């Protein structure tokens, strides 16, 4: 009996110890999974491409309707990752000192230029989308400046606890200087950054969306959260997304490379009243453009097939 009790005691200790070890391992595994979940997008392939110290520069041939006629122009999309301040919503000068205020974002600068008659249009939209979409599911900031010879406007959306705070400043009376807050939703401006970050994928079906600031200005529509439907078709080489607003006569299509790094090949915008945008990729290169400031660096413009 004593021998049996001794064996039972040893087995009990063994099982208890084994359970404790298993519990510890399980907790560690959960921590590992959580950490992996936080940086699930940061594969070696992703890091090698997006944290190489270079930006991805893309030039597009543009056809833009304005004042009832189709204008020829050019778009440049600049994709790059940057250190960003969560509280100030600006690029950090000293990210190593920022602590928990430092997050990594993908910035998209969308530069659109075309001519209307004698004068030029220049439109720049900057969008800042967190790399970690699980912790930060919404784009933090997006702004658009539109310059032309009559005057210019500036619109900025900043994410806060209540939604998107919108500030708009304009030369034109009908736009005025305004400040409003609208509910959080997917920004039309962030569709392309989402595609790049989420392995070419967008949410499908009916979604809440805020249409683009360019559409807001050109179609004289106040920025608001509304309903849109996203659908897609795919082949071996291309993913095509179709975005249709349910309460506005506006449709967008985006063609995406169906493999990493999921480059934007082309897109169209149709507002149903002859106001259209068509952009098709000409050239894509990766360069640290911010350090290429000399006259000799102008050769890169030729490589990117930019208009003079």
C-alpha–C-alpha distance, residues 217 and 71, integer Å: 18
The reply to whether 308 falls in a domain is no
Q: Are residues 174 and 93 in the same domain?
A: yes
User: β-strands 186-187, 205-210: how paired?
Assistant: parallel
The reply to whether 17 falls in a domain is yes
Whether the Cβ atoms of residue 45 and residue 74 lie closer than 8 Å to each other: no
C-alpha–C-alpha distance, residues 160 and 165, integer Å: 7
Q: Are residues 172 and 132 in the same domain?
A: yes
pLDDT at residue 4, as a whole number: 47
Q: Are residues 136 and 5 in the same domain?
A: no
Q: How many domains does the chain have?
A: 2
C-alpha–C-alpha distance, residues 91 and 108, integer Å: 13
Q: Are residues 146 and 24 in the same domain?
A: no
Q: Is the dihedral of CA 219, 263, 194, 127 positive or negative?
A: negative
Q: Are residues 113 and 174 in the same domain?
A: yes
Give residue 11's domain range: 1-38
Q: Are residues 124 and 136 in the same domain?
A: yes
Q: Is the peptide bond before 7 cis (omega within 30 degrees of 0)?
A: no
The reply to whether 188 falls in a domain is yes
The reply to whether 111 falls in a domain is yes
Strands (E), the chain: 55-66, 69-85, 102-116, 119-130, 141-148, 151-160, 163-170, 178-182, 186-187, 205-210, 225-234, 238-245, 251-257, 264-270, 276-287
The reply to whether 286 falls in a domain is yes
pLDDT at residue 28, as a whole number: 31
Q: Are residues 123 and 198 in the same domain?
A: yes
DSSP 140: -
Q: Are residues 295 and 182 in the same domain?
A: yes
User: β-strands 55-66, 276-287: how paired?
Assistant: antiparallel
pLDDT at residue 272, as a whole number: 83
The reply to whether 263 falls in a domain is yes
pLDDT at residue 173, as a whole number: 84
Token readout for 129 is 């989308």
The reply to whether 124 falls in a domain is yes
C-alpha–C-alpha distance, residues 74 and 113, integer Å: 5
C-alpha–C-alpha distance, residues 106 and 154, integer Å: 21
C-alpha–C-alpha distance, residues 264 and 284, integer Å: 10
Burial of 172 (0-12, 13-18, 19+ CB in 10 A): exposed
Q: Are residues 65 and 4 in the same domain?
A: no
Q: Are residues 76 and 179 in the same domain?
A: yes
State pLDDT tens for residues 48-64: 999 999 999 999 999 99
Q: Are residues 168 and 251 in the same domain?
A: yes
DSSP letters spanning 143-157: EEEEEETTEEEEEEE
Tens-binned pLDDT, residue by residue, of the chain (308 aa):
455 445 444 444 433 434 333 333 232 332 333 333 343 448 999 999 999 999 999 999 999 999 989 999 999 999 999 999 999 999 999 999 999 999 999 999 999 999 999 999 999 999 999 999 999 999 999 999 999 999 999 999 999 999 999 999 998 887 779 999 999 999 999 999 999 999 999 999 999 999 999 999 998 899 999 999 999 999 999 999 999 999 999 999 999 999 999 999 999 999 987 778 999 999 999 999 999 999 999 999 999 999 87
Token readout for 273 is 């009243």
Q: Are residues 32 and 180 in the same domain?
A: no
C-alpha–C-alpha distance, residues 60 and 304, integer Å: 10
pTM: 0.86
The reply to whether 74 falls in a domain is yes
Whether the Cβ atoms of residue 146 and residue 165 lie closer than 8 Å to each other: no
């Amino acid at each position: 009996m004593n021998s049996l009790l001794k064996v039972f005691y040893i087995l009990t200790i063994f099982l208890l110890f084994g359970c404790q070890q298993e519990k510890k391992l399980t907790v560690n595994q959960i921590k590992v999974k959580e950490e992996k979940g936080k940086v699930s997008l940061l594969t070696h392939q992703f890091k090698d491409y997006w944290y190489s110290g270079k930006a991805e520069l893309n030039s597009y041939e543009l056809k833009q309707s304005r004042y009832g006629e189709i204008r020829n122009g050019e778009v440049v999309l600049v994709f790059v990752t940057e250190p960003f301040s969560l509280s100030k919503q600006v690029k950090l000068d000293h990210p190593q000192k920022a602590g928990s205020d430092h997050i990594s974002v993908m910035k998209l600068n969308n530069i659109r230029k075309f001519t209307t008659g004698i004068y030029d249009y220049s439109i720049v939209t900057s969008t800042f989308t967190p790399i970690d979409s699980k912790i930060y599911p919404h784009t933090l900031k997006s702004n658009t400046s539109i310059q032309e010879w009559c005057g210019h406007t500036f619109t900025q959306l900043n994410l806060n606890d209540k939604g998107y705070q919108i500030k708009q400043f304009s030369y034109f009376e009908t736009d005025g200087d305004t400040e409003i807050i609208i509910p959080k939703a997917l920004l039309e401006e962030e569709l392309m950054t989402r595609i790049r970050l989420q392995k070419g994928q967008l949410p499908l079906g009916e979604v809440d969306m805020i249409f683009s600031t360019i559409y807001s200005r050109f179609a004289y529509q106040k920025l608001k959260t509304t309903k849109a439907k996203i659908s897609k078709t795919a082949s071996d080489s291309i993913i095509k997304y179709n975005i249709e607003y349910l309460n506005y006569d506006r449709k967008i299509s985006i063609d995406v490379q169906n493999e990493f790094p999921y480059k934007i090949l082309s897109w169209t915008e149709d507002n149903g009243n002859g106001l259209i945008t068509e952009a098709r990729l000409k050239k894509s290169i990766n360069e640290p453009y911010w350090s290429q400031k000399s006259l000799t660096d102008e050769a890169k413009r030729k490589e990117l097939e930019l208009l003079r």
